[in-house]
Amino acid sequence: MPLCVSYGDLSKLVKEVGLKYKELNRNPNLSFSICIETDHTNLFFDPENVRIILDNLISNAFKYTTQGEIKVVLRNISENNIQYTEILPLR
């Protein structure tokens, strides 16, 4: 799959995909939340590939979690003086 990289706010995409799953969740024993630890995450990324990856991660979390909490976290971290942005699905 070829990359189509553009500059944008990754947090908007994470919120958009996450809200879809929040609305689709019909399990009263399972809560879903989105935690954006940074206000704006402007960087270069491929929106379509990130959307596909997020959909797969979140749908698998719902598939294998019957109760409790699923949380998607977007945050910036620093390791060895290098800044990273990461998306974590936590269950």
Is residue 76 in a domain? yes
**Alpha carbon distance 9, 33 (integer Å):** 19
Is residue 1 in a domain? no
Q: What is the pLDDT of residues 7-40, one digit of tens each?
A: 999 999 999 999 999 999 999 999 999 999 987 7
Is residue 23 in a domain? yes
**Alpha carbon distance 76, 40 (integer Å):** 10
Q: What is the pTM of this model?
A: 0.87
pLDDT at 65 exceeding the cut of 80: yes
Is residue 15 in a domain? yes
What are the backbone dihedrals phi and psi of residue 69, each rounded to the nearest 5 degrees, phi first?
Answer: -140, 140
pLDDT, residue 64, reads: 92
Question: Please, are residues 11 and 36 in contact by the beta-carbon 8 Å criterion?
Answer: yes
Is residue 30 in a domain? yes
What range defines the domain where residue 61 resides? 6-90
Domain count, the chain: 1
Question: Please, are residues 38 and 76 in contact by the beta-carbon 8 Å criterion?
Answer: yes
Q: What is the CATH number of the domain that holds 68?
A: 3.30.565.10
